[in-house]
Structure 1
Amino acid sequence: MRNHLALLPGWGFSVDVLEPLRQALLARNPHWHISVHRLPEVPAEHWLAALEQDVPADAWLLGWSLGGQLAQALAAQRGEHCPGVISLAASPSFVARPDWPHGMPPATLQAFSEGLSQALQATLKRFGLLCSQGAAEPRALARALQSHALTECTALPAGLAHLAALDNRAALASYLGPQLYVLAGNDALVPAEVAPDLLAILPDVEVQLIEDLSHALLLEQPELLAELVDVFVHEAADV
C-alpha cells in the first residue's frame, strides 16, 4: 500500500489549520508519511501545475474545502498515478449551478471577492464565522479558525476564482481511483443535501455524513476523521 498522504488546506487559512488532523492521522497510523502543502501563490491558471510540482507523485490526496476541490482536480489529472482522493467538506462544485443546486450562490462568493479589497480582515472573520456555523461551540471554533487565518491577500483572490470556476464533475467521472467524501450535517457552506447529488453522478464513491458538525469539522473531530481516512485507505488497498 502506498502510504504517502498529502494534505491541502481550505481557502483563507494557513497550513497550520491541518495540524490537529495530521497529528490524529499519525496517532492512528504511525506508518503514514504525511506532507502538508500550502495553496499556491501564483495566478489561478497555474495552480494545478504548481501543485503537480509540489505534491509528491503517487500520494493519496486529502483536502479540506477548497483544498478538497483542488485534490479532486489533481487526482483526475494524475489518473491511475493517484491512489485515491479524500474530500473533507468539499463537493465537485462549490458554487450552485443550474444543474447543481446545493452550493453557494455565486452572488455570495462575489461579495467575498469584493470584500478582500475593501476589508480583508473583516472578510476573513466573516468567512470563519460561516465555517463555524452549526458547531456545538461556534464562537470558540471561530476563534480557533481566526488563529489560522491568512494575514496577507497574496493567494486569496486566486483561491476565490477557483471556488467560482472549479467544476470537477466530468473529470471525476472518468477518474477510476477510490474517492471518499466526508460531509458535515450542519455545514453552512457545503450542505449535507449535496450527498444525493454526489451519488447520482459518482455512484461508486463513498460518502460519509457526520451529523452535528460544521464546515470546520477537521478542528471539531480530527480523531474521528483520522479513523475514517485510515479505514477507507486500508479497505481501498485491499480491493
Structure 2
Amino acid sequence: MKSHLYFIHGWGMNRAVWRPIAEKLSHLYDVTLLDLPGYGESIDNLPQTYNLDQISQQVAQNIQQPGIIIGWSLGGLVAQNIALKNKEKTDALITIASTPCFAQKNDWQGIQAHVLTDFQQQLAEDYNKTLERFLAIQAMGSRSARQDIKAFKALLLTYAPPAPAALSGGLQILAEADLTDKIAEIHQPTVRLYGKLDSLVPKAAIDPIHQLQPHSDKYIFNKASHAPFISHPEEFLQVLSQKLSGLT
C-alpha cells in the first residue's frame, strides 16, 4: 500500500505548482495536492476569519488518510499548525523554505515589517505586479530565473487568480503568526528544507529553528532561494526522495 503525501502551496500560488514533482512521485506514493482556502479549486471556500487556525482546519478537512504533510512557505506554516492540532492526520512533516515565524521581531530573523507592508499596498493597487515581484524573489539564486518565472506563471494560470481576501489574509498571517513557542510539541518525524539564498527565510533563522525543534532533520540547498523545487528541480527531487524514503 502506498504512503500518502499531501502537498500545500505558498502565498499567491495554487496546487498547480506541485504538478511536476507530483508526476515524478506518483508511482511510489499516493499524492494529493491541496489548495489553501481562496486559491485554485478552493477559491470560493473562504473561512469567516482568514487566520492560521481557520485555514489550517479547512485544509486538514481534506486530509482523508494519515500521511506525510509537505508545505512550502505559507503552506509550511499551515503544515506545522496541522501537525500540532491534527496529530492523528500527520505521520510526518516536511517544510520547504518555511519557518514557525516569518516576521522579523526582536532577535528573530525573518521578513522585515516594511516588506510585508509594501506587499499589502502593492496588492491593493495591482495584483499582477505584486505577483511578478513575488515570483522574482522566489526565483532568486537560479541561473534560469526568467525561465523559472515563466514556469511558475504557466502553472498558476491553469486556475483563476486567488480571492483578494486570501491574498491579503495570507500576508497578514505571514506578518503575525508565530509558532516558535509551539514547534517543540511537534513530535512527528520532521524534515526542514531550506534555500541558502532565501531572502524570506534567511539562513540566520535556520539554527534558531532547529534549537526549538532539535529532533528535526534539515537540508540546505546551497544555490537555491525560496523555491528550490522550481529553481533546482533535479536536486530537489533527489533530496526529497531520500528524505521520504527515510520517513516511510
TM-score with structure 1 setting the length:
0.90
Query: 1:114 aligns to what SS in structure 2?
Result: helix
Q: How does 1:173-188 map to 2 (within 5 A)?
A: 173-188=184-199
Which structure is higher in RCO with an 8 Å CA cutoff and minimum separation 6? 1
Report the counterpart of residue 33 of structure 2 in structure 1: 36
* Distance across 1 between alignment mates of 2:234 and 2:64: 25
- Sequence identity (%): 25
Are 1:24 and 2:24 an aligned pair?
Answer: yes
- The aligned amino acid for 2:61 is Q
Query: 1:182 aligns to what SS in structure 2?
Result: strand
Q: How does 1:1-239 map to 2 (within 5 A)?
A: 3-26=3-26, 30-41=27-38, 42=46, 43-45=49-51, 46-79=54-87, 81-101=89-109, 103-149=110-156, 151-154=161-164, 155-237=166-248
- The 8 Å contact of residues 135 and 186 in structure 1, kept in 2 or not, is answered as no
Structure 1 residues 181-215: Cα deviation after superposition (integer angstroms, max 9, x where no partner): 11012212212222211222111111100111121
Q: Give, in angstroms, the shift of residue 39 of structure 1.
A: 0.8
- Shift of the 81–18 alpha-carbon distance from structure 1 to 2, 3 Å rule, reads closer
* Distance across 2 between alignment mates of 1:201 and 1:2: 32
Query: 2:61 aligns to what SS in structure 1?
Result: helix
- The 8 Å contact of residues 142 and 232 in structure 2, kept in 1 or not, is answered as no
- Shift of the 147–188 alpha-carbon distance from structure 1 to 2, 3 Å rule, reads farther
* Distance across 2 between alignment mates of 1:31 and 1:133: 31
- The 8 Å contact of residues 2 and 30 in structure 2, kept in 1 or not, is answered as no
Q: Give, in angstroms, the shift of residue 235 of structure 1.
A: 2.1
Query: 1:19 aligns to what SS in structure 2?
Result: helix
- The aligned amino acid for 2:11 is W
- Shift of the 119–200 alpha-carbon distance from structure 1 to 2, 3 Å rule, reads same
- The 8 Å contact of residues 72 and 98 in structure 2, kept in 1 or not, is answered as yes
* Distance across 1 between alignment mates of 2:145 and 2:238: 24
- The aligned amino acid for 1:111 is D
Unaligned runs of 5+ in 2: 39-45
Structure 1 residues 60-100: Cα deviation after superposition (integer angstroms, max 9, x where no partner): 10011111111111111122541111011111111112131
Alignment RMSD (CA, Å): 1.9
- The aligned amino acid for 1:218 is F
- The aligned amino acid for 1:60 is I
Unaligned runs of 5+ in 1: none
Query: 1:44 aligns to what SS in structure 2?
Result: coil
- The 8 Å contact of residues 104 and 113 in structure 2, kept in 1 or not, is answered as yes
- The 8 Å contact of residues 40 and 47 in structure 1, kept in 2 or not, is answered as yes
Report the counterpart of residue 41 of structure 2 in structure 1: none
* Distance across 2 between alignment mates of 1:77 and 1:235: 24
**Aligned pairs, number:** 233
- Shift of the 139–129 alpha-carbon distance from structure 1 to 2, 3 Å rule, reads same
* Distance across 2 between alignment mates of 1:147 and 1:75: 31
- The aligned amino acid for 2:30 is H
Query: 2:7 aligns to what SS in structure 1?
Result: strand
- Shift of the 53–164 alpha-carbon distance from structure 1 to 2, 3 Å rule, reads same
* Distance across 2 between alignment mates of 1:36 and 1:181: 19
Q: 4+ residue stretches of structure 1 with deviation over 4 A?
A: none
